[in-house]
Amino acid sequence: MGENTDLLADAVGNLLRIQNECSCAVFNECGLADLTIKQVACLKLIDREGDITFSRLAEITRTSRPTTSEMVDRCARMECVYRERSPDDRRVQYIRLTEKGRQIARAEETALARLVERLVRSLDRGELDLLVRLLEKVR
């Protein structure tokens, strides 16, 4: 069983390496190879929430308002987000994603799509069907 476990670890590791390469390629295409995990998480959160204020972002991330403001400032300098005043209450500012920010927030989805494309190019129909059936068993 040990040899099979080693082979499986190698195969899964290879898939993860390919997905990581795809993710890095997406970040490089956006011109932002040096993003931190926190910055990506922040962009993903803004993407998921839609209309989000500084206060709400600080609440969700459990960080102080100044810490949240600094993170948003860094993302704004990288042209990933911008601020927009509420038309109803000029004291309220929403944090919005730019197209670049949206691409980064959705990089994992894009990377997964690229990984799937590579699998489809590498395997024949029968192998793909078998792979799908095997992966569906994993819980």
Taking residues 35-61, report their average pLDDT.
90
CATH classification of the domain holding 25: 1.10.10.10
Is there a domain that residue 129 lies in? no
Distance CA(9)–CA(131), nearest Å, equals 16
**What average pLDDT is seen over the chain?**
87
27: CB partners within 8 A, 6+ apart = 33, 35, 104, 107
Number of structural domains in the chain: 1
Output the pLDDT for position 33: 66
Q: Which residue stretches of the chain are H helix?
A: 2-29, 37-49, 54-61, 65-77, 99-105, 107-122, 125-137
pLDDT at 1 exceeding the cut of 60: no
Tell me, yes or no, whether 23 lies in a domain: yes
Task: Note the pTM of the prediction, 2 decimals.
Answer: 0.70
Place of tokens 């894009």: 110
Mean pLDDT of 63-79: 91
pLDDT at 9: 86
Q: Tell whether 135 is covered by a domain.
A: no
Q: What is the pLDDT of residues 78-132, one digit of tens each?
A: 899 999 998 888 888 999 999 999 988 898 888 888 889 988 999 999 999 998 8
Q: Mean per-residue pLDDT for 7-26?
A: 83
CA distances to 52, 63, 64, 99, 127 from 39, rounded to whole Å, are 16, 13, 16, 16, 38
Query: Is 48 a member of any domain?
Result: yes
* 38 pLDDT more than 80: yes
End-to-end CA distance of the chain: 20
Q: Does 35 or 45 have the greater pLDDT score?
A: 45
Exposed (0-12), middle (13-18) or buried (19+): which is 32, by Cβ within 10 Å? buried
Q: Does residue 138 belong to any structural domain of this protein?
A: no
| Residues spanned by the domain of 6 | 2-123
16 within domain boundaries: yes
Residue 31 has pLDDT above 80, yes or no: no
How confident is the model at residue 122, as a pLDDT? 92
Return the higher-pLDDT residue of 96 and 1: 96
Q: Is residue 69 part of a domain?
A: yes
Looking from the CA of 135 toward its CB, the CA atoms found within 13 Å total 9
